[in-house]
Amino acid sequence: MSKVSSTRLKMIRNFEVAPEKVFDAWLKPEMMGKWFFTLEGTNKVTRNNPQVGGTWEIIDHRGGQDYRAIGEYLELDSPKKIKLTFKMPEMSDLEDTITVELKELEQGCEMTFTQLIHVAQESNWTDSEIEKALDEMRDGTEVGWNYMFMGLEELVETGEVSYKG
């Protein structure tokens, strides 16, 4: 087993809806299947057991290939906090941890998203190569979440995601 290095991605988003609505979008399969790792038009499977120790699974089909994401709920405090694991088993044995914290604002809510990202490193990598790999993984992950959070915002604020895949 190669060594593993970690980096943290933190993103903050504001929504013009109550925290309960955003909390539900993270947990209800009919909402998850429209934005979380998938789109309504490409989603094949959305399974969810939203309780501590419960698991979730999403299978997205794009470009003739299935992409699978799985995880387990570590903490649920409605409507304030969700902590879960995130893993793509076909791509890596490593499992990230995601924490979503929701805070009610005078108008709407603020979501603080944090992902602890793990990256396997080659045994001969230098410190600068490790740092470069972590930066690339964090930056690429942030791009993906930016797209997903656009869909999340549209879903919770309008009820639909216009891009279906």
What tens-digit pLDDT sequence spans the chain (165 residues)?
A: 579 999 999 999 999 999 999 999 999 999 999 999 998 889 999 999 999 999 999 999 989 999 999 999 999 999 999 999 999 998 899 999 999 999 999 999 999 999 999 999 988 999 999 999 999 999 999 999 999 999 999 999 999 998 776
pLDDT value for 1: 52
Nearest of 68, 72, 71 to residue 58 by alpha carbon? 68
143: which residues sit within 8 A by CB, 6+ positions away? none
Long-range contacts formed by 146-150: CB under 8 A, 24+ apart: 146/11, 148/35, 148/36, 148/37, 149/11, 149/13, 149/113
pLDDT value for 164: 72
Locate tokens 């793990």: which residue? 118
In DSSP terms, 11 is beta-bridged to 113
In angstroms, the CA 163 to CA 103 distance is: 28
Q: Is the pTM of this model over 0.75?
A: yes
In angstroms, the CA 14 to CA 74 distance is: 24
How buried is residue 158: exposed, middle or buried, by Cβ count under 10 Å (0-12/13-18/19+)? exposed
Which tokens go with 96? 């990230």
